[in-house]
Amino acid sequence: MELTDLERDFLRKLLGESWVSPPTFDHEIVARLVELGLVETEPLPSGDIEYRITDAGRAAATP
């Protein structure tokens, strides 16, 4: 699977810890990563979304 530089950078940032989106984040930027099962999301009570890398995402982030 061919990832864009932006997608690969996002996965690498998630290797250390999960990330909570700010209210203005464009979720479509990483929607493909979620669809591919590389990232999972969890809606938070605040309305933000938490992004966590999956095992498949870890494998895709590290060559």
* pTM listed for this prediction: 0.88
- Residue burial 5-42, b: 16+ Cβ < 10 Å; e: rest: eebeebbeebeeeebebeeeeeeeebeebbeeebbebe
* Predicted pLDDT at 20: 96
Here the CATH number for the domain that contains residue 10 is 1.10.10.10
Element (H, E) at 17: none
Q: Can you give the residue range of the structural domain that contains 47? A: 5-61
For 10-56, the pLDDT digits (tens) are 999 999 999 999 888 999 999 999 999 999 999 999 989 999 999 99
The total of structural domains in the chain comes to 1
* Residue 1 reports pLDDT greater than 90: no
